[in-house]
Amino acid sequence: MPATVITSEDVEFGVLQETGILLSSFSRSVQSDKATVTDALGDTVAVAYYNKTATISFDGAVNGAGTYNLATVLTLLNDTNGFGISGGVVVCESVAEKSGSGVFKTISVTATQYPELSE
């Protein structure tokens, strides 16, 4: 059952479920490489940011047939736009599965979003 959220602010609650996983968390971190130029005094006089990517991680209980294979392009339901990066492709970098006695099977996925690539 979805939560009822009462607020006067524009806030988000919860996450969208991905195929085959009941998500317990979803995170996206945007980063880039950086080059600087310094003058004769060692002061930075120019900065260039390039090769922007986003690292995406999510985990949760397995509830179906999600296809999370290493080095494949993922189609995600959660938002992969914002903070200077949108579009491109999301490539699966690692998958970890965990199960045990008396607990639900879980899966953790890490992926990288490359905004300049396309399928």
Per-residue pLDDT of 1-22, as tens digits, reads 556 666 665 655 667 778 788 8
**CA distance linking residue 29 with residue 46, whole number of Å:** 25
So what's the pLDDT on residue 45? 97
Q: What is the pTM of this model?
A: 0.80
**3-class SS at 46?**
strand
Check: CB of residue 98 under 8 Å from CB of residue 105. Answer: yes
Is pLDDT of 36 > 90? yes
Q: What is the dihedral of CA 95, 72, 93, 117, to 10 degrees?
A: -160
